[in-house]
Structure formats: structure tokens, C-alpha cells
Amino acid sequence: IAGITQAPTSQILAAGRRMTLRCTQDMRHNAMYWYRQDLGLGLRLIHYSNTAGTTGKGEVPDGYSVSRANTDDFPLTLASAVPSQTSVYFCASSDSKTGANVLTFGAGSRLTVL
């Protein structure tokens, strides 16, 4: 089934630990994104990648890093987790060459940092 796969679905981890959220898409979309969603706030962009080999910072990049070694994979790493990074994380992709550039989202990863 075409789409985006995120892992893990949920995770609880201690502050200071390193964590990588995985994201894989099979739609051959050139652009990929990581958002966080917090209660009462709109989706906030953490990092994005317009094409394999390139990445860019979004609205809230501090404490997060990404890599885009190939078209399909776009992992998000928290080098040293802090409680304020407790959130639901959504990976998304799009074919940015099309006019509307509609985003397709993964099912999300719920992260709790204690």
C-alpha cells in the first residue's frame, strides 16, 4: 500500500536519551517534512528536505537533526531529549513539482520525554 510509514508508533524515553524517529515513503515524492503537533497549536515544521541529499530548517529546528540519504527515508533524531519535546510527530511527503504540492502524512509517532 502506497504511503508513509513511521516508527515507532509511540515511545516513552528518559530525558537526555538519544532517539531516532524513522520515516519511509514509497511514493517517490521528492520533498519530505517533519512536523510536531501540540495541543492548541498548529502543526509546526521542524525540518524539511526538497530532494535527496539536501535538508533545511523549519520553524522549530533546535534539538533536532535530519538526514536524507535517499529519496525514501527521512529520519528525525533527537540528540538529547528534553521534556519540551514531548509531542506527536508527523512525517509528510509531497511531489513539490506539482501545482498544489499536497502533503501526504504518516500516522504519527507519539513521543513522551520524562
Partner 1 sequence: GQNIDQPTEMTATEGAIVQINCTYQTSGFNGLFWYQQHAGEAPTFLSYNVLDGLEEKGRFSSFLSRSKGYSYLLLKELQMKDSASYLCAVRDSNYQLIWGAGTKLIIKP
| The three cell numbers locating residue 11 | 515511545
Q: Which residue number, 15 or 38, has a Cβ lying nearer to partner 1? A: 38
> What is the C-alpha to C-alpha distance for residues 113 and 111, in angstroms, rounded to an integer?
7
| The three cell numbers locating residue 98 | 506539482
CA angle 66, 13, 38 (to 5 degrees): 65
Q: How many residues bind partner 1 (CB under 8 A)?
A: 18
Is 105 one of the binding residues for partner 1 (CB under 8 A)? Answer: yes
Is 19 one of the binding residues for partner 1 (CB under 8 A)? Answer: no
> What is the C-alpha to C-alpha distance for residues 32 and 17, in angstroms, rounded to an integer?
25
Which of positions 25-64 make contact with partner 1 (CB under 8 A)? Answer: 40-45, 58
Amino acid identity for residue 107 in this structure: A
Q: Which residue number, 84 or 101, has a Cβ lying nearer to partner 1? A: 101
Provide, rounded to whole angstroms, the least separation between the CB of residue 80 and partner 1.
27
In this chain, which stretch among 14-22, 61-69, 70-78, 101-109 interacts with partner 1, using CB under 8 A?
101-109
